[in-house]
Amino acid sequence: MPIILPCFFDYVFPNYILPNALITELGIVNYLHSLNCNRLNRQSFFEQNIHSGIDHNNLLTLMFGPSLGTFPNSTAGGTHLISEQYNHIVIVKEDSLHIGKKTNPKYIYPIIMSPHLHDFAGITRSGSKLNGEYFWKHMSAEALSDAQKGNAVIFLDFAQENFIDRDAYERLHRCLRISGIPPNKVVLAFNSFNAQELYEKWFSPEERLLDVKNWPFVLTNTSYYYYRNPKSHINILEFKSSKNKIRNSYFLFKIRRPRLYRQAFLYQLNYDNLLDKADWSWLEKSNFNDLDIDNVLTGFQLDVTKDSVQKLFMNLPHSLKDEPNSTFNTVSSWTDTNATPYKNSYFYLCTETYTQGEYKSVTEKIMKPMVNFMPFLFMSFPGALSLLRSLGFKTFSPYIDESYDDEYDEVKRFKMIYAEIKRLCSMSKEELHNWYWNMENILIHNHNLVLNFYKEDKQTIELVECLNKRIS
């Protein structure tokens, strides 16, 4: 049976629930907008995406710039625990805290945190927030008092973000140290498999001012998306019916936002004339910048001329062959709506958001090849393949040399992955075709597990039980 969690909010209006700990001035604007807001879409005024000509931005980004120095503590209402994939785990009972306390004197006070933790904590070096503008100063006096007395648990919901470094924790500690809120009444959870382990490694029990929980929200959310949207991915019948078809491309490589290691792969692939064997994209509008290019060429020790990179930039942005009209704004980084590109390539070069550090965090990016029956090379943190196997997925050794997963040096790991790309691209199409179909059972297993992964989400169960225990 799902656990019922009372989650209360400072301001609940007929059409909209305002986010907790929202800066007062923004709350007024959101309230005025809520009078004409469809309650079902759960979006506040500042959450509405607009097209600025460069990217999809919310109004805060447009007004305050990309640094979001004045980003509020939260613009999103509710909590990610209300997501449909959790219906079998938790029932979130939303109410105003003033009314809800009459039946539930102890409750959860959720805050969906802004991604800029230094500003959120109110201890910042940049932006326009002042030092000392702590998030808890924007809670209602009633909620803050309840938390200080131990009757409310502040749930810091950071579900879509992948890591918090030690410095950010120390700033949160400084923020909480003078709040008067007991440490066991603050629970922070985000998209990681070892967040709790790292926090407890970095800080002794006496130093800890909050509980940190692992919460692989992105994987479960992506799993549920593909489960609910079967047209967004290849199905087993389509997969098996393609057994006698030679595919157009050797591999698929998608770049929406060109981080340095993605650029490194593309520059080297271009120089070695291997992009001709790929279906690839680079969707962000970019200008040739000598300093940035030098950083990539020297940082990853590439055997590439700057002239070849400059010629490459003349053809950017670049869309996939099967998505010729796609742009940075029309392609979702979260999930796919068009599975056709996966049908026409044999393997996938997957590059995760972060590739260094102690954090164990994977995102929707690796679900895309697995749900679409593709073997992959995975440029991620060391041990990422081992993590996937611990979750029940299968990887591709000996068909792919996966020793790169044990390499801690990012540049060496990059070179080992690139060597495998070159080896696979040296095969004939017929050899690669046979290589691919030798992994049929692995590909089917991963596909099925992606579609069912959200059902076996132990970390979210542990998080919900933790929150429930804190208000019992």
DSSP secondary structure of 237-271: HHHHHTTTPPPSEEEEEEESS--HHHHHHHHHHHH
Whether the Cβ atoms of residue 436 and residue 347 lie closer than 8 Å to each other = yes
- Distances in whole angstroms, Cα of residue 59 to Cα of each of 50, 55, 124, 185: 7, 12, 22, 33
Whether the Cβ atoms of residue 155 and residue 109 lie closer than 8 Å to each other = yes
Q: How confident is the model at residue 54 (pLDDT cuts 50, 70, 90)?
A: very low
For the CA atoms of 19, 23, 24, 26, what is the dihedral angle to 10 degrees?
A: -80
Closest CA to 208 of 188, 230, 223, 190: 188
Beta pairing, strands 56-58 & 90-96: unpaired
- How many Cα atoms are found within 13 Å in the side-chain-facing hemisphere of 440? 11
Q: pLDDT value at position 265?
A: 96
Decide: residue 126, CB within 10 A, 0-12 exposed, 13-18 middle, 19+ buried. exposed
For the CA atoms of 242, 248, 254, 260, what is the dihedral angle to 10 degrees?
A: 130
Beta pairing, strands 49-51 & 107-112: unpaired
**Which domains are present in the chain?**
3-216+457-470 (no CATH), 231-453 (3.40.50)
Ramachandran region of residue 254, left (φ > 0), alpha (ψ -120 to 50) or beta? Answer: beta
Q: pLDDT value at position 191?
A: 95
Find residue 186's DSSP bridge partners. 154
Residues 222-240: pLDDT tens digits?
A: 999 999 999 999 999 999 9
Helices (H), 178-216: 195-202
Lowest mean pLDDT among 9-13, 194-198, 405-409: 9-13
Beta pairing, strands 49-51 & 90-96: unpaired
Residues 416-472: pLDDT tens digits?
A: 999 999 999 999 999 999 999 999 999 999 999 999 999 988 999 999 999 999 999
Alpha carbons 321 and 330: distance in angstroms, whole number:
15
Whether the Cβ atoms of residue 279 and residue 247 lie closer than 8 Å to each other = no
Q: pLDDT value at position 40?
A: 44
